[in-house]
A and B are shown apart, each in its own frame.
Chain A
Amino acid sequence: MGDQIFGSQVRTDTLVAVGRLGRTYPAEIAATINRRVTEIQRAVATLERAGLIVTTKVGNTRITELNPRYWAKDELYALLLRLSELPRYRGWWTVRRRPRAMGKPL
């Protein structure tokens, strides 16, 4: 159900993860959706060419997020948020996103 609407399963999963997680990076996406990092890197490159996401290199990490200048960014985010609640994705979003103060154990 709508699982390949962005061309392939891995591409759809990657985009849904970027939407749900916010700022993320390929290794985190790979761990979240249980794929190889190289698959995610390929999907990220394709989605970036399509203008849906943007990436920024910070140190050795390629920060990945939805393109804030995409013409339908709000509609895209609304769709991805809905998709992320499908049974396929429920249970994947366990990575902590809220801040943790310095000095507090993980």
Chain B
Amino acid sequence: MTSSLADVAGAVAAHLRLKGIDVVVVGGSAITVHVPAVYTSHDIDFAVPTGQRLGEITAALAQIGFVRIGREYVAPNVVYSVDIVADVPMIEQEAIYDYALIETTSGMLKALHLEDAISDRVAAFVHWSDSESLDVAERALSAARVRIDDGRLVTALRRLRPEGAAASLRLELARERLNKIVS
């Protein structure tokens, strides 16, 4: 199997599609498929908008060598593991149905739009004070500045609903840091 995260995810997604299972790359791996130099994820987080059918998914992944260990699926000689993390991808309370299409060696791969993936990283900073996530969001925005749809990014960040004064202050700080890159 090919070696980049996007190509491995593309191959797995193509196989699952043949079995009637549609998947979308979410989480940190969505950042990696858009801007691999910015963040290296070693697990491929898939959401399954058609609903998780773990028995079918496990059987389908076994056909291409991925064995379930704990909650993850791993295959020999593949550095990336696969994790089924959700049904419909969500950012805060909002379900996301519009996805980016990434070209891979196995065809088109669905992933969160980069703007949504950045917003998802900002959410981790807002809710858990996870500074690494804010750094990743900042680096992704900086690296892909010319590709970013500003309107989509604004909309994605508006979905964030901080609870309490501390979370609001973190969102304000995150916006400031991202605005410095955009402006």
Which of A's residues lie within 8 Å of B, judged by CB? 20-22, 74, 77-78, 81, 85, 93-99, 101-105
| CA of A96 to CA of B28, assembled, Å | 13
Residues A93 and B131 in contact in the complex (CB < 8 Å), given A102-B71, A103-B70, A104-B71: yes
Q: Which of B47-55, B94-102, B162-170 contacts A (4 or more CB under 8 A)?
A: B162-170
Residues of chain B at interface, number, CB under 8 A: 20
For the complex, give the distance between the alpha carbons of A62 and B165 in Å.
Answer: 25
Q: Closest residue to B170 on the A side, CB-wise?
A: A81
Taking beta carbons and an 8 Å cutoff, which residues of B are in contact with A?
43, 70-72, 81, 83, 85, 124, 127-133, 165-166, 169-170, 173
Q: Cβ of B173 and Cβ of A85 under 8 Å apart?
A: yes
Q: DSSP majority for the A interface?
A: loop
Q: What are 14 of the A-B contact pairs (CB < 8 Å)?
A: A20-B131, A22-B129, A77-B166, A81-B173, A93-B131, A93-B132, A94-B131, A98-B127, A102-B70, A102-B71, A104-B43, A104-B83, A105-B72, A105-B81
Count of inter-chain pairs, beta carbons less than 8 A: 52
Q: Which partner residue on chain A sits nearest B131 by CB separation?
A: A93
Q: A20-B129, A98-B124, A104-B70 are in contact. List 7 more A-B contacts (CB 8 A).
A: A20-B131, A22-B129, A78-B169, A99-B128, A101-B85, A103-B70, A105-B81
Partner of B71, one of A77, A97, A103: A103
Which residues from chain A contact B127 at a C-beta distance below 8 Å? 98
Q: Are A77 and B128 in contact (CB under 8 A)?
A: no
| Bound: A97/B131 CA distance, A | 8
